[in-house]
Structure 1
Amino acid sequence: MDKNRDMSSETNQKTQLKLYPLLSSISAATDLISPVLVDHHKKVSFVAATLGKTLGLDQHSLERLILAAAVHDIGGLSSKTRVQTFEFEVAEPDRHTLPGYSLLAGFAPFADLARLIRFHHVYWQNGQGMVDRGEEVPLLSHLIHLSDRIAVQLDANREILSQKTDIVRRITAEAGEMFVPEQVEAFQEVAGKEAFWLDLLSPSVSTILQERFPLGGMELDRGEILALAEMFRRIIDFRSRFTATHSSGVAAVAVAIANHSGFKKEDPDRIKIAALLHDIGKLVVPLEIIEKREGLTSEDFAIIYKHPYYSAEILRGIEGLEDIAQWGALHHERLDGTGYPYKKTAEEIPLGARILSVADTFTALMEDRPYRCGISAASTDRIMRDMATCQKIDKDFVALIYENIEEINDKRYEAQVGADLSHLQFLKDCRLFDNTKEAEERCPVRR
């Protein structure tokens, strides 16, 4: 009886997440895809927080503003789209605001943040911008727009204090048309302080923000953690049709391996969460490399090899998810020490990471890539067994897959078909089929 109560308590146990460090780490990773973008989300968050405080926002509104600003461009799926947002007047803002809205809205606690992101490029137009295409536009969206347009004018090659006059002049000239006049007045007030600009360009701007504007956290139960992981899975995978179903397939295979091996049977969701998040560090890899059809260069591989490291960095420090962060960081390590990025050997690679490595390899081999079609089941079998024999991946988990191949492969296939349908709907909802061949060039899910 006591044991049952303990298990029930464990099932209902909640995890306290500090949202700003998590969201900021994810957006910081996306900002690494181009030198132009580095720390952009952090700068916008700092400007928005400073203006929000000057305007007298209550704590709840200030928190929503900072969190939304921290991921406002998360829907920019390619380097090209992101760099285009650095034009002062953005052409086709829906190309990144709609995907950003869609990606976050699927997680119920972030639905409000999603709305702020959806409208963050709407012009004020002397009050007409209170409504956009029949929907009310939050004033916080307008404040993110203003903060964003301040940040894109910063020139890293010039002394910051010599830039402030020009930036203030340009922003002021657009008061009423692009920006809410009262919000521009708040900017004019803070812009007169040299410390504002020095904080803004400080390497410690994120630390300054968190110290000056303490943010609360969010308690999530196990189901909510899974839903959050699924949201991040979409952010990771939906950047490309070549990766759109990958993490779903890895999760299905990893869960099946864990079930058959008895791994973490008291907490079966942990391996699924780890599988959904294992490639979160791939946000640092430009889409242009992920979708490159010709052979990858040594420079391309150097960028790709960074992604497990950034998976660990993004997830590091999240209380209660330490093992998940470790497994994700090590999913490209090899038992013989030839993997990356840490060159760990067998005794240093925990079972969770070994399961992810086997599940990731099995799934990836059967998927299409820009430079090859998915490999046949027979060839996948041969490659997996060869890798196990050569001490690359865990032979026991490979054997377990092939002892249950029909069941495990069916689960992978079903999960990836579901993810493919979800990706297709995402593209339609975000109008990303316009003027592209995406519909005709979708990657089939292979058995």
Structure 2
Amino acid sequence: MEYELNIREVIYALSEALDLVGIDDTRHGKRVAFMAAACAKEAGFDDDFIDEIISIGMLHDCGVSKTETHRSLVTQLEWKDEQFHCERGAILLGKVKLFARFSQPIYYHHTHWDILEHLPVDARVKQMANLIYLADRIDALRVQLEGSDLERSDEIERIILEHKGNFFSPELVDAFVAAARRNSFWFYLADEPLEEQLLEWVGRGEILHLPFTEIREVAQMFADIVDAKSPFTFEHSFGVAALSNFLARGFGLDEHTRETVEIGALLHDLGKLRVDDDILNKKGRLNHGEKMLMNRHGFDSNMILRRIHGFREIARIASLHHEMLDGKGYPYSLEKEEIPLEARIVTVADIFQALVQTRPYREAMAPDAAFAILQEMADAGKIDKAVVKMIGANLDQAYRLAKYKERAEAA
């Protein structure tokens, strides 16, 4: 079936997830998008170019999953490993029909202008890539220098001018200097005016009729980003989605509901992008503060996905995967009757996949051992007995589906 979606709304919502990676430095992608658009307007680029650069700006760090990577990128003007996230981002975008045209600008968005201008690349791609690089480094300098934006604006301008012609296109640097002389350029970087400007842009977006396959490509891209945050979650979201789809089919749910379950499962851990790498990879028991941060990821997934009209049910399913039927789950502590079957399916699939996957505190379990834990939880009234029963009746297949991504990569 087809879905009616404003793609700008999708891009904005997913940029919320990408911006969580910075933890203490959120909205980086949105600031880059705004500054790149302001410079493009100053340079006289057409409206289509400006619309495109806003989208690219918000998605430009899709190759960044780890907090430490983000920290290195924003605290150094140049970083020796910066090209890796450009390459990864380009690969991820290239797999998504809706975003494939952004792949080349993302690939080159840390390439110095004195190299980029001589490469056999389309001129428009060069301009987009270098404009994102310019805005990205301006925002990095905001992190590195002390004071308010207006207080550090002269120093930022001085450093950017030092790299005119080598890091950055002279034309684009001139556009930045002209745009940045207006105080409003810097004022708009504060959270509220920034959001207002970008949401106006979102509101002008065209509603598209898209097949499920294209929606799934976007969800798979972000599942890849989330799963790459830790080596212990490499194939987690894909395995949960494959197993959830199988279970939903087993319960006779209709096609639209199965699609909703699959997308919800792919995106269920989106909020984990806010969690520091050290917490995700910790071998010992989490302390109270760390546990609270971890326990809010379902809530954050919900808040992100609810921004997309038509995704409310997906958001709800994604956010409930740690709710328990005894009312002792999180983040909402819902009672049994408040948890729909779709969410119960994702919960069981999530637990089973995690059990058969190596985690920092234990090795992967065999299917029988993992199922025994599911059965204990079902008997204790925590998870749905019927869903667990279906896992048990199809244990070998459930295991293969849970290890879906890992097996696909090995094939």
Q: Flag whether TM exceeds 0.5 (same fold).
A: yes
Pick the aligned partner of 2:54 from 63, 66, 69: 66
1:68 and 1:114 in contact (8 A); partners too: no
2:34 alignment partner in structure 1: 46
* Residue 192 (structure 1) aligned with residue 147 (structure 2): no
Higher mean Cα deviation, 303-312 or 194-203? 194-203
* Residue 304 (structure 1) aligned with residue 291 (structure 2): no
For 1:342 and 1:336, the matched residues in 2 are separated by 12
* Residue 140 (structure 1) aligned with residue 133 (structure 2): no
SS at 1:313 equivalent: helix
2:19 alignment partner in structure 1: 31
* Residue 253 (structure 1) aligned with residue 243 (structure 2): yes
* Residue 263 (structure 1) aligned with residue 253 (structure 2): yes
Letter of the structure 2 residue corresponding to residue 71 of structure 1: L
For 2:224 and 2:364, the matched residues in 1 are separated by 21
* Residue 241 (structure 1) aligned with residue 228 (structure 2): no
SS at 1:256 equivalent: helix
Deviation at 1:204, TM superposition (A): 3.3
Pick the aligned partner of 1:393 from 380, 383, 387: 383
Letter of the structure 2 residue corresponding to residue 50 of structure 1: A
For 1:214 and 1:326, the matched residues in 2 are separated by 23
SS at 2:245 equivalent: helix
For 2:337 and 2:264, the matched residues in 1 are separated by 20
SS at 1:232 equivalent: helix
For 1:344 and 1:157, the matched residues in 2 are separated by 45
2:367 and 2:396 in contact (8 A); partners too: no
1:353 alignment partner in structure 2: 343
Identity in percent? 33
Deviation at 1:201, TM superposition (A): 2.4
Identify if the C-alpha distance between structure 1 residues 266 and 164 changes in structure 2 by more than 3 Å, giving closer, same or farther: closer
Letter of the structure 2 residue corresponding to residue 199 of structure 1: Y
For 2:108 and 2:336, the matched residues in 1 are separated by 50
Pick the aligned partner of 2:109 from 117, 120, 131: 120
Aligned length: 406
Identify if the C-alpha distance between structure 1 residues 202 and 318 changes in structure 2 by more than 3 Å, giving closer, same or farther: closer
- Superposition CA RMSD, Å: 2.2
Higher mean Cα deviation, 198-207 or 241-250? 198-207
1:333 and 1:341 in contact (8 A); partners too: yes
Identify if the C-alpha distance between structure 1 residues 176 and 364 changes in structure 2 by more than 3 Å, giving closer, same or farther: same
Deviations along 1:373-431, one digit per CA (max 9) or x if unpaired, are: 01232322221111112221111111122123233333334x23344449xxxxxxxxx
2:86 and 2:108 in contact (8 A); partners too: yes
1:129 alignment partner in structure 2: 116
Letter of the structure 1 residue corresponding to residue 311 of structure 2: L
For 2:89 and 2:32, the matched residues in 1 are separated by 16
For 1:267 and 1:336, the matched residues in 2 are separated by 25
Identify if the C-alpha distance between structure 1 residues 273 and 55 changes in structure 2 by more than 3 Å, giving closer, same or farther: same
More helix by share: 2
2:65 alignment partner in structure 1: 77
Higher mean Cα deviation, 262-271 or 273-282? 262-271
For 1:124 and 1:300, the matched residues in 2 are separated by 42
2:212 alignment partner in structure 1: 222
Deviation at 1:289, TM superposition (A): 2.3
Letter of the structure 2 residue corresponding to residue 64 of structure 1: E
2:401 alignment partner in structure 1: 411
1:63 and 1:215 in contact (8 A); partners too: no
Deviation at 1:267, TM superposition (A): 4.5
Pick the aligned partner of 1:327 from 317, 327, 332: 317
Deviation at 1:157, TM superposition (A): 5.6
Superposed counterparts of 1:267-306, under 5 Å: 267-306=257-296
Of structures 1 and 2, the one scoring higher in RCO (CA 8 A, sep 6+) is: 2
Higher mean Cα deviation, 77-86 or 201-210? 201-210
Deviations along 1:324-381, one digit per CA (max 9) or x if unpaired, are: 1100011111111111111111111111111101111111111110121012323222
Deviation at 1:268, TM superposition (A): 2.9
1:174 alignment partner in structure 2: 163
Deviation at 1:257, TM superposition (A): 1.2
Pick the aligned partner of 1:165 from 117, 130, 154: 154
* Residue 206 (structure 1) aligned with residue 189 (structure 2): no
In the alignment, structure 2 segments of 5+ residues that lack a partner are none
Pick the aligned partner of 1:88 from 70, 77, 85: 77
Deviation at 1:292, TM superposition (A): 2.5
Letter of the structure 1 residue corresponding to residue 265 of structure 2: A
For 1:276 and 1:202, the matched residues in 2 are separated by 29
SS at 1:15 equivalent: strand
For 1:335 and 1:408, the matched residues in 2 are separated by 22
For 1:295 and 1:344, the matched residues in 2 are separated by 25
1:103 alignment partner in structure 2: 92
For 1:289 and 1:271, the matched residues in 2 are separated by 28
Letter of the structure 1 residue corresponding to residue 27 of structure 2: D
Identify if the C-alpha distance between structure 1 residues 213 and 57 changes in structure 2 by more than 3 Å, giving closer, same or farther: farther
Letter of the structure 2 residue corresponding to residue 106 of structure 1: K
